[in-house]
Structure 1
Amino acid sequence: MIRIATRLILMAALLVVTGGCGGPAAVTPASVPPLRWGGDAEGGAPFVEADPANPARVRGFDVEIATMIAQGVGREPQFVQVAWASIEQSLARGDFTIGMSGLEDRPALHARFAVSLPYYEFREVLAVRAADSARVRTLADLRGRRVATLGATMAWEMLLAARTSHGVLPVSYDDDVHPYSDLVSGRVDAVLLDHVLAERSLRRIGGFVIQPVPLARGHYVAVLAAGDSALRDSVNTTLRARMRDGSLERVFRSWNVWDTQQAEFQQKVLRDSMPGRDTTAAPTATTAQATRTSASIATYLPSLLRAAVITLVLSVLAMALAIAIGIGVAAGRVYGSRSVRLLLTAYVELIRGTPVLLQLFVLYYGLSDAVRLPAFAAAVIGLGLNYAAYESEIYRAALEAIPTLQLEAARTLGLSEFQILRLVRGPQALRLALAPMTNDFVALLKDSSLVSVITVVELTKQTAIYATNAGSWAIPGALCAIVYLAMSLPLSRMARRLEHRWKLS
Structure 2
Amino acid sequence: MKKSFKAIIQAIIVIMALLTVAAWHTSNAAAADTSLQRVKQRGELIVVTSPDYPPYEFMVNENGKSKMVGMDIDVAKKVAKDLHVKLVMKSMNFDSLLVAIQTGKADMAIGGINPTNERRQSVDFSKIYYSGGQSFLINSKDVNKYKSAKNLKGATIGAQTGTLQYGLAKKRIPNSTVKGMDKSTDLVLALKTNKIDALGIEKPTAEAYVKNDPTLKMISSGYNLNKNDVGAAMAFKKGSGSLVNAVNKSVDQIQKKHLTDKYLAAAGKYMKVNTVNTSMFHYWTYFAKGVEYTLLISLVSTFFGVVLGVILALMRFSKQKWVRGLAISYTEFIRGTPLMVQVMFVYFGIGVVINIPALISGMIAVSLNSGAYVAEIIRGGINSVATGQTEAAESLGLTKRDMMQYVVLPQAFRNIWPALGNEFISLIKESSIVSIIGVTDLIYQLNIVRADTYRGVIPIFVAMVLYFIMTFALTRILNHYEGKMKHAG
Aligned residue identity for 1:116: S
2:56 corresponds to: 47
Partner of 2:190: 182
Corresponding residue number in structure 1 for 2:390 = 407
Runs of at least 5 residues in structure 2 that lack an aligned partner in the other structure:
1-39
Return the alpha-carbon distance in structure 1 between the equivalents of residues 433 and 365 of structure 2: 11
Aligned counterparts of 2:271 and 2:286: Cα–Cα separation in 1: 24
Instruction: Find the partner of 1:114 among 124, 147, 164.
Output: 124
**Aligned position for 1:329:** 312
Displacement of 1:95 after TM fit? 2.3
Quote the Cα distance in structure 2 between the aligned partners of 1:299 and 1:31. 41
Show the counterpart of 1:372. Answer: 355
Superposed counterparts of 1:342-421, under 5 Å: 342-421=325-404
Aligned to 1:205: 213
Secondary structure at 1:468 match in 2: helix
Identify the residue that residue 301 of structure 1 maps to in structure 2.
284
2:121 partner SS? helix
Q: Is the Cα contact below 8 Å between 2:289 and 2:440 reproduced in 1? A: no
- 1 or 2 for the larger relative contact order (CA 8 Å, sep ≥6)? 2
Once the two structures are superposed, what CA deviation does each residue of 1:318-362 show, in whole Å capped at 9, x if it has no partner? 111111111111112134444433332232222112211111122
1:244 aligns with 2:256: yes
Any idea what the Cα deviations from partners look like across 1:32-54, whole Å, max 9, x if unmatched? 7232221122x142111111224
Structure 2: distance between partners of 1:474 and 1:212: 27
The answer on whether the counterparts of 1:162 and 1:168 sit within 8 Å (CA) in structure 2 is no
Q: Say whether 1:224 aligns with 2:236.
A: yes
Deviation at 1:117, TM superposition (A): 0.8
| Aligned match of 1:441 | 424
Counterpart residue number, 1:494: 477
- Residue 438 of structure 1 deviates from its aligned partner by 2.0
Q: Distance in 2 between matches of 1:36 and 1:135?
A: 42
Say which of 266, 272, 280 aligns to 1:291. 272
Per the alignment, residue 87 of structure 1 pairs with 97
Take 2:461 and 2:153, find their aligned partners in 1: how far apart are those partners? Answer: 40
The aligned amino acid for 1:38 is: V
Distance 1:243 1:146 in 2: 37
Q: SS in structure 2 opposite 1:292? A: helix
- The Cα shift of 1:112 comes to 2.8
Query: What letter is aligned with 1:457?
Result: T
Measured after TM superposition, the shift of residue 299 of structure 1 is 4.7
2:162 aligned residue: 152
CA contact (8 A) 1:133 1:211 kept: no
Bigger fraction of residues in helix:
2
1:60, 1:222 → 2: CA distance?
15
Spell out, residue by residue over 1:429-468, the C-alpha distance to the aligned partner (whole angstroms, 9 max, x if none). Answer: 1111222222211211111111111221212201210122
1:169 aligns with 2:152: no
Aligned partners of 2:352 and 2:45: how far apart in 1?
23
TM-score normalised by length of structure 2: 0.82
Q: 1:151 to 1:445 in 2, by over 3 A?
A: same
Query: C-alpha displacement at 1:399, in angstroms?
Result: 0.6
Helix, strand or coil at the partner of 1:120 = coil
Moved more, 183-192 or 384-393: 183-192
- Offset at 1:216? 4.0
**Aligned-partner Cα distance in 2 for 1:181–1:375:** 28
Distance in 2, Cα, partners of 1:192 & 1:315: 37
Deviation string, structure 1 residues 334-393 (Cα, Å, up to 9, x no partner): 344444333322322221122111111222223333343322222111111111111011
What do the CA deviations read for 1:122-143 (whole angstroms, capped 9, x no partner)?
322244455464666345x544
Cα distance in 1 between the residues matched to 2:456 and 2:72: 25
Q: Which amino acid aligns with 2:85?
A: R
1:148/1:191 contact within 8 Å kept: yes
Q: Quick one: structure 1 residues 246 and 158, their matched pair in 2 at CA, closer, same or farther if it must change by over 3 Å?
A: closer
CA drift at 1:478: 4.0
Aligned equivalents of 2:44, 2:424: Cα separation in 1: 38
Q: Are residues 47 and 336 of structure 1, via their aligned partners in 2, closer, same or farther at CA, if it must alter by over 3 Å? A: farther
Q: Structure 1: give runs of 5+ residues left out of the alignment.
A: 1-29, 257-287
- Partner residue in 1 for 2:72: 62
Opposite residue 72 of structure 1, the aligned amino acid is D
Deviation larger for 430-439 or 199-208:
199-208
Q: Secondary structure at the match of 2:369?
A: helix
Please give the TM-score of this superposition, normalised by the length of structure 1: 0.80
Paired residues of 1:97 and 1:224 also in contact (CA < 8 A): yes
Secondary structure of the residue that 1:149 maps to in structure 2? strand
Counterparts of 1:489 and 1:180 in 2: how far apart (Å)? 31
Q: CA distance change for structure 1 residues 296 and 31 in 2, over 3 Å: closer, same or farther?
A: farther
- In the other structure, the counterpart of 1:77 is 87
- Determine if contact 2:53/2:205 at 8 Å carries over to the other structure: no
What is the root-mean-square deviation in Å for CA atoms of aligned residues? 2.7
- Look up the match of 2:203: 195
Between the aligned partners of 2:48 and 2:239, the Cα distance in structure 1 is: 17
The CA deviation at 1:469 is 0.9
SS of the counterpart of 1:95? coil
Q: Give me the identity figure in percent.
A: 20
After superposition, give the CA deviation of every residue in 1:261-297 in whole Å (9 maximum; x if it has no partner). Answer: xxxxxxxxxxxxxxxxxxxxxxxxxxx8963332454
Equivalent position to 1:137, from 148, 165, 168: 148
- For 1:315, the equivalent position in structure 2 comes to 298
Residues 51, 361 of structure 1: alpha-carbon distance in 2 compared, 3 angstrom cutoff:
same
Give the match's secondary structure for 2:317. helix
